[in-house]
């Protein structure tokens, strides 16, 4: 075998080895690239999730702080009104006005599918009494006894009834729950309730104290004996978690 032929065989062998080695490197390089891309994608997704969670928490904190400021303002206003009222009562030698409430926790819905009946964590209630229920300064219903347990009847429930005043003239009526709205019935015909009148509790039924806001009149209807006013309530009970119960004297 000539030297030239040997050299040719050697070159051919080296070329084959180089090609196979290059293909191997290419495959290895592709695997490494895919691995790096996967790490990048997972890291990006994780980082994006963390950022979204951070901003959601921040927005929730900001909303809670804003709500807290609103409640503090309401408390200050109510305290100011209460102080002025008590000063007037003192001048008239009358007893001090100090409505008592208690913060209670909602436990669960009493019946699946009925969002107007809620069990409350209120053990020391008097089963013979009916209590007013308030959330964020507005009426939301009443509390009654059911098998020696405190049951909240939210104000859309037909059995949720309490006494109210309508408008600046303090027109008397009785509020009833009626299919996602409130109806004020038994309004005397000699009165003049109208759309836009504000409805507040009268305190005459010993369920609420006077002046708790209920809503505004959106429609007035007349039957043979009375007027009936449809009321759009102020309260919006999205999450029934905590309520204030009006305690008895």
pLDDT tens per residue, range 29-70: 444 455 555 555 555 566 566 666 656 677 777 666 666 666
Does residue 93 carry a pLDDT above 90?
no
Partnered with residue 227 across adjacent β-strands are: 187, 222
Q: Using alpha carbons, list the distances in angstroms from residue 177 to 89, 115, 132, 139, 163.
A: 35, 13, 14, 12, 12
Encode pLDDT of 132-151 as tens digits: 999 888 999 999 999 889 99
DSSP state of 207: S
pLDDT at 22 over 50: no
Report if pTM > 0.85: no
Instruction: Return the percentage of the chain with pLDDT > 70, whole number.
Output: 61
Of 239, 235, 224, 228, whose CA–CA distance to 200 is shortest? 235
Residue 106: Cβ-neighbour burial (10 angstroms; 0-12, 13-18, 19+): middle
Q: Is 225 helix (H, G, I), strand (E, B) or coil?
A: coil
Q: What are phi and psi of 94, to 5 degrees?
A: -110, 165
Residue 193 vs residue 111, higher pLDDT: 193
* Domain parsing of the chain, residue ranges: 1-98, 99-249
Quick: pLDDT tens for 225-240.
Answer: 999 999 999 988 776 7
Partners of residue 233 on adjacent β-strands: 215
Between 73 and 40, the higher pLDDT residue:
73
CB 200 within 8 A of CB 243: no
Reported as type and span, the H/E element at residue 152 is strand 149-154
Q: Distance between CA 72 and CA 137 in Å, rounded?
A: 12
Question: Quick one: DSSP state of residue 128?
Answer: T
Q: Does CATH number 3.30.360.10 belong to domain 99-249?
A: no
């Amino acid at each position: 075998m000539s030297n030239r032929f040997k050299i040719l065989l050697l070159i051919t062998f080296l070329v084959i080895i180089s090609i196979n080695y290059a293909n191997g490197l290419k495959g290895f390089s592709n695997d490494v690239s895919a691995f790096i891309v996967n790490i990048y994608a997972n890291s990006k997704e994780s980082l994006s999730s963390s950022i979204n969670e951070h901003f959601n928490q921040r927005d929730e904190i900001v909303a809670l702080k804003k709500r807290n400021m609103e409640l503090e303002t309401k408390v200050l206003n109510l305290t100011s009104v209460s102080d002025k009222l008590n000063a007037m009562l003192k001048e008239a030698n009358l007893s001090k006005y100090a409505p008592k409430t208690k913060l209670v926790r909602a436990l669960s819905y009493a019946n699946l599918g009925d969002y107007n009946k809620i069990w409350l964590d209120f053990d020391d209630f008097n089963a013979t009494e009916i209590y007013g229920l308030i959330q964020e300064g507005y009426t939301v219903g009443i509390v009654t006894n059911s098998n020696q347990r405190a049951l909240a009847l939210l104000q859309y429930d037909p059995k949720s009834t309490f006494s109210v005043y309508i408008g600046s003239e303090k027109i008397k009526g009785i509020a009833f729950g009626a299919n996602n709205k409130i109806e004020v019935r038994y309004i005397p015909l000699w009165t003049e309730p109208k759309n836009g009148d504000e409805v507040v509790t009268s305190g005459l039924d010993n369920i609420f104290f006077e002046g708790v806001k209920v809503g505004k009149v959106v429609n007035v209807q007349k039957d043979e004996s009375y007027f009936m006013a449809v009321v759009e309530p102020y309260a919006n009970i999205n999450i029934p978690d905590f309520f204030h119960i009006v305690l008895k004297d």
